[in-house]
Amino acid sequence: MKIQIESQKLRIRIDENELARLLAGDGLETRTGFADAFAISFAVRTTQADDATFSGQADAWQIGLPDAALREHASRLPTREGLRYTMAGKDAGDTLQLLFDVDVRDSVRHRRSP
């Protein structure tokens, strides 16, 4: 799982094996240590909600992706188009754009290999 943060955009990119784990109901987790300053853990799971969710603390993020949307997205792979969600913040400038996609190169290799 790759996490990219740019301004108010959070992008999550996974490979086909991680997608299979999500679709099987397993969560994905990773942790990044920032030298000896602090660490952040990230968890992605499917939910039955209609929209993506974001919760947690500053050092432990929980991201929920709608199961139905994820399954529909998986049926269209390989594609460069991912899932996009806008999450309102407390203030107007805190709106977060959540972008989720499956690595298209991995998807092509995985789905087109003999």
Q: What is the DSSP letter of 79?
A: -
| Whether the predicted pLDDT of 43 surpasses 90 | yes
Closest listed residue to residue 12, CA positions, set 75, 79, 82, 66 = 82
Q: What percent of the chain has pLDDT over 90?
A: 82
Helices (H), the chain: 16-23, 67-75, 104-112
Closest listed residue to residue 41, CA positions, set 59, 57, 53 = 59
pLDDT at position 113 is 63
pLDDT at position 10 is 97
Q: What is the pLDDT of residues 59-113, one digit of tens each?
A: 999 999 999 999 999 999 888 899 999 999 888 889 999 999 998 877 777 767 6
Closest listed residue to residue 80, CA positions, set 103, 57, 53 = 103
